[in-house]
Structure 1
Amino acid sequence: MTEPIIWELDLPDVTVENIFQAQGADYGKRSPRPVTVELYRQVLAEAALLARPTIIWREVDIQGAGVRELFLEGGRKLTSRLLATIAGKADKLILYAMTIGNALDRREQYYSKAGKTLEAFVLDTAGTAYIVKSGISAMQKIKKHCRAAGLKTTFPMGPGHSYWPSLGDMQTIFYFLPAEQIGLHLTDSSLMLPRKSLAMVIGAGYNLPDFHGKTHCDFCSLSEKCQLSYFEQKC
């Protein structure tokens, strides 16, 4: 098991159009009112000042795989049929967790308590955009690191999706990751705080099968109905 690595990431580009699209607004026939666009721009600019994308990740040896389990060093395991199928032949599992921090959460709570529900809604969507697009950037950096070592990689997968319903496996991921070093914590019910955070795993190995451009979204029951798909999440 390697030592954990922490990266502070550049803030990705998020536009007002991204926010409208993610919220399901259809302005194909009529443009939004200028006052609405200006409010969105102001809140998005505020979100850009509050978001601080940071990732912690490390490599863990894979000891074997069952039908629904992936066995890791230290006697730990993860329980997902899809994970066992996709990463069962990998040599290593890369575990990573990332967050944009809690400043945006606090500001959203302020807006909600002040009765500024639209501002809170826009800020929440902007936070989702920043964590998803930051996740894409982090994944690309990790895959580049693996390619330099001659390793192929799978697409990322994570607990809490329909193909991996056991949130309890978050405890295993956080067992390997000292995520408190980047301000990340798990609740008793295995939810992450701050809210705009994510944790996923990637299989890495020398002789992995070709997954033909698949992503974990192809195995999720939400498919393209998920808000995350609006931010061009490509795994």
Structure 2
Amino acid sequence: MLTKKHILNVPAANLTQVNDYFKKHTNIDYPEVPKKYGMAVNNAYDFLIKDLEILALLQSFEISEIHEDHVLLCNGESFLGEMPGRILKDSKQVLCFVVTIRNFDDKSHVLTASLENYFLDIWGTAFIENAERWLKDYIAQELAELTLKRTHVWSPGQHQFELKNQRCLFNLLAPEEIGVQLAPSMKMNPIKSVSGIMGVLNQNQTNDLNPCDFCSLHKSCRVSGATCS
């Protein structure tokens, strides 16, 4: 079970949708890149993929009590606000994760050409989004073997799940172990890092609360069905 801390190396070879995520942000269909962007896009990709290190940290925690304004865990930590109780309704456990491109910030300071730096940033976003997608699928498979399933994924700061909950998540996981630091502003470093929680449910339970339903772009979003949680 995932009650023990897991640290996973996410192989780039497993991230088969990176080009789709890149296209979502740039409308560029890699590797068929327009000539005027070709060198910058390819150089940024090659530079990022060399020595690419993507790490994921995850662990589940027992829930003690669910209240209207907070969710109390058995170890004394709490997720605050009205949304955690809705996210974790009927859950006995909360599964927390952090995923990061460990060496991204160092790489971003090396490229000097502004266009290459721009595309490096987009490639970083594409890789971290695909890595999060891969981790969600990995977790779903692990839970299915235990006749369990997960809720949708929510990240601190996302659609009424208050950003201050990032502190609770860091207290639980201590992702400094994989090189992720939390600034006083709740910004994660390296910048290409994502975090989130999901509830763990029995197979016969349902909690369809979806962050997409709280997004102002929900009705017009062309990617939510394919790439959101």
Q: TM-score range by the shorter chain?
A: 0.7 to 0.9
Secondary structure, counterpart of 1:75 in structure 2: coil
State the partner residue of 2:154: 157
What is the aligned-residue RMSD (CA, Å)? 2.7
- Alignment of 1:221 onto 2:212: no
Per-residue CA deviation, residues 172-213 of structure 1 (Å, 9 max, x unaligned), is 1111102112111111222111000011011002252252xx
Secondary structure, counterpart of 1:140 in structure 2: helix
| Larger helix share, 1 or 2 | 1
Per-residue CA deviation, residues 79-113 of structure 1 (Å, 9 max, x unaligned), is 243331131210110011110112x32222233xx
Whole-angstrom distance in 2 between the partners of 1:185 and 1:140: 25
Compared CA separation, residues 220 and 79, structure 1 to 2 (3 A): farther
Unaligned runs of 5+ in 1: none
Alignment equivalent of 1:200, drawn from 196, 199, 203: 196
- Alignment of 1:121 onto 2:121: no
TM-score normalized with structure 1 length: 0.83
State the partner residue of 1:233: 227
Per-residue CA deviation, residues 2-56 of structure 1 (Å, 9 max, x unaligned), is 32111111211323x753541356x9xxx96424223312211222224321111
User: Percent of pairs identical after alignment?
Assistant: 21
State the partner residue of 1:79: 80
Report the residue type matching 1:107 in the other structure.
K
Contact kept, 8 Å, 2:93 with 2:199, in 1: the verdict is yes
State the partner residue of 1:147: 144
Whole-angstrom distance in 1 between the partners of 2:89 and 2:118: 40
Contact kept, 8 Å, 2:156 with 2:166, in 1: the verdict is yes
Compared CA separation, residues 223 and 50, structure 1 to 2 (3 A): farther
Whole-angstrom distance in 2 between the partners of 1:106 and 1:60: 33
Contact kept, 8 Å, 1:170 with 1:190, in 2: the verdict is yes
Which deviates more, 33-42 or 150-159?
33-42
Which deviates more, 217-226 or 149-158?
217-226
Compared CA separation, residues 59 and 210, structure 1 to 2 (3 A): closer
Secondary structure, counterpart of 2:11 in structure 1: coil
Whole-angstrom distance in 1 between the partners of 2:225 and 2:58: 23
Secondary structure, counterpart of 1:149 in structure 2: coil
State the partner residue of 1:134: 131
Whole-angstrom distance in 1 between the partners of 2:189 and 2:170: 12
Whole-angstrom distance in 2 between the partners of 1:230 and 1:24: 16
Contact kept, 8 Å, 2:21 with 2:129, in 1: the verdict is no
TM-score normalized with structure 2 length: 0.85
Which deviates more, 33-42 or 2-11?
33-42
- Alignment of 1:43 onto 2:39: no
